[in-house]
């Protein structure tokens, strides 16, 4: 019995390492994707070659051919018409790295999954769950190309709707991976009381919403306008738009309104967590959640501070990238809170 238990624990150990590695790679992919967007590199590769695209251009002829393909799209003709080949190589490498990471994630996820399947290291129920994640990874690759296509004709940038869908799904994959890691690494229940009214789940859902709206901010370059805080040019509501637009589809197509929505969701998230934090600190029966709550509070303050600095700087690339890193740390710590809350028994 002891040996059997040790074998099971050993299998779980390797599965945990694998899931944690993929979680890290997806997080890295999100950061590189953010930098690809911030450097306007996403349209530098105009073809989607799943296998041929593994190798970058290796000769002068191949580089010139790739550059000539880029010259045919509106972004080059309208925005970057004076770009040199050396300047093109900079944006190419960002997009190439992003796509290469996607391929690496696919392989690093699928091959061990097949191994664990044949070794019967995982129950059928969990196997289905893990293959569903692989399905999402495949869909994500398609969505990436679907997003890029939106910027190849009649636009100088990708669609903010497709960008938001692409980023949101990336975070959903990250969340599924990390949730399964938590399940494999911790089978214990927590003694205490649950946070009432599903507040931890509501808090987490608002974070997902904020991430989706953040993609609209990025897609519309909305972080480069109204470089003031807490007001938007001495007004709470942006003075270049109408309150009526806020309740229409135009809100997601107007940079100032998107920034306004992003700011206010941040305020809602902050106040929801203050309520959660107060409940946890007040009641000793929530003591098992305190350490996680403190981490979340630190990450939340860090994220808000970076968000303000990003706005004030006009979306400085370093600050904007750190802000995206903050969203990863905050959302993963929020998942831990939700997980512990669900595993709490009286």
Q: Convert the pLDDT of each residue in 223-272 to its tens digit.
A: 989 999 999 989 999 998 889 999 998 999 999 999 999 999 999 999 99
Count the alpha carbons within 13 Å of 91 in the hemisphere toward its beta carbon: 21
DSSP letters spanning 28-47:
HHHHHHHHHHHTT-TTS---
Alpha helices, DSSP H only, in the chain? 2-38, 60-70, 74, 85-118, 124-149, 160-185, 199-219, 255-282, 290-312, 317-342
Range of the domain at 53: 1-187
* pLDDT of 50 above 80: no
Q: Which of 187, 212, 243 is the last residue of a domain?
A: 187
Please state, in angstroms and rounded to a whole number, the distance separating the CA atoms of residues 149 and 157.
10
Please state, in angstroms and rounded to a whole number, the distance separating the CA atoms of residues 224 and 33.
19
| Claim to verify: residue 313 and residue 332 sit in the same structural domain | yes
Q: Say which range, 43-52, 127-136, 242-251, 252-261, has the weakest mean pLDDT.
A: 43-52
Domain count, the chain: 2
* pLDDT of 6 above 50: no
Angle between helix axes 199-219 and 160-185 (nearest 10 degrees) is: 140
Please state, in angstroms and rounded to a whole number, the distance separating the CA atoms of residues 316 and 323.
10
Angle between helix axes 160-185 and 124-149 (nearest 10 degrees) is: 160
| Claim to verify: residue 14 and residue 134 sit in the same structural domain | yes
Residues forming a β-bridge with 345: 191
| Claim to verify: residue 211 and residue 93 sit in the same structural domain | no
Q: Which of 187, 208, 239 is the last residue of a domain?
A: 187
Mean per-residue pLDDT, 106-120:
92
The token pair that represents 219 in the structure block: 């897609």
What does pLDDT average to over the chain?
Answer: 92
- At residue 154 the predicted structure's pLDDT band, cuts being 50, 70 and 90, is confident
| Claim to verify: residue 256 and residue 159 sit in the same structural domain | no
| Claim to verify: residue 206 and residue 166 sit in the same structural domain | no
Tell me what percent of the residues of the chain surpass a pLDDT of 90.
79
Contact 343, 194 (CB under 8 A): no
| Claim to verify: residue 133 and residue 270 sit in the same structural domain | no
Instruction: Give the tens place of pLDDT for each residue, 306-341.
Output: 999 999 999 999 999 999 999 999 999 999 999 999
| Claim to verify: residue 173 and residue 40 sit in the same structural domain | yes
Please state, in angstroms and rounded to a whole number, the distance separating the CA atoms of residues 161 and 156.
15
| Claim to verify: residue 138 and residue 125 sit in the same structural domain | yes
User: Which residues, including other chains, have CB under 8 Å from residue 131's CB and lie 6 or more apart?
Assistant: 113
* pLDDT of 5 above 60: no
* pLDDT of 7 above 50: no
Please state, in angstroms and rounded to a whole number, the distance separating the CA atoms of residues 162 and 168.
10
The token pair that represents 325 in the structure block: 């890193």
| Claim to verify: residue 206 and residue 84 sit in the same structural domain | no
What are the C-alpha distances in Å from 278 to residues 23, 246, 287? 31, 32, 12
Q: Which of 142, 167, 187 is the last residue of a domain?
A: 187
| Claim to verify: residue 46 and residue 1 sit in the same structural domain | yes
What is the pTM for the complete model shown? Answer: 0.93
Rg (Cα) of the chain, in Å, rounded? Answer: 22
| Claim to verify: residue 69 and residue 153 sit in the same structural domain | yes
């Amino acid at each position: 019995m002891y040996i059997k238990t040790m074998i099971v624990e050993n299998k779980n150990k390797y599965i945990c390492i694998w899931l944690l590695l993929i979680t890290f790679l997806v997080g890295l992919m999100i950061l590189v994707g953010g930098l690809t967007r911030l450097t306007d590199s996403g349209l530098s590769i105009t073809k989607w070659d799943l296998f041929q695209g593994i190798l970058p251009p290796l000769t002068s002829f191949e580089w010139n051919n790739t550059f000539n393909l880029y010259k045919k799209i509106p972004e080059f003709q309208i925005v970057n018409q004076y770009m040199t080949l050396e300047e093109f190589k900079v944006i190419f490498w960002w997009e190439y790295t992003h796509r290469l990471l996607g391929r690496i994630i696919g392989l690093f996820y699928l091959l061990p999954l097949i191994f664990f399947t044949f070794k019967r290291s995982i129950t059928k129920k969990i196997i289905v769950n893990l293959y569903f994640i692989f399905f999402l990874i495949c869909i994500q690759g398609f969505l990436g190309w679907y997003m890029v296509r939106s910027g190849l004709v009649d636009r100088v940038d990708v669609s903010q709707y497709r960008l938001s869908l692409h980023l949101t799904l990336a975070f959903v994959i990250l969340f599924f991976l990390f949730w399964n890691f938590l399940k494999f690494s911790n089978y214990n229940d927590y003694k205490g009381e649950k946070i009432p009214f599903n507040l931890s789940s509501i808090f987490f859902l608002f974070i997902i919403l904020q991430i989706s709206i953040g993609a609209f901010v990025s897609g519309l370059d909305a972080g480069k306008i109204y470089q003031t805080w807490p007001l938007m040019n001495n007004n709470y509501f942006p003075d270049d738009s109408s309150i009526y637009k806020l309740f229409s589809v135009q809100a997601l197509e107007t940079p100032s309104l998107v920034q306004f929505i992003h700011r206010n969701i941040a305020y809602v998230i902050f106040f929801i967590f203050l309520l959660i934090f107060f409940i946890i600190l007040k009641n000793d029966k929530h003591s098992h959640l305190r350490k996680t709550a403190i981490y979340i509070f630190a990450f939340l303050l860090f994220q808000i501070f970076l968000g303000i600095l990003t706005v004030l700087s006009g979306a400085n690339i370093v600050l904007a990238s750190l802000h995206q890193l903050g969203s990863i740390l905050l959302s993963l710590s929020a998942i831990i809170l939700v997980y512990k809350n669900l595993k709490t028994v009286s």
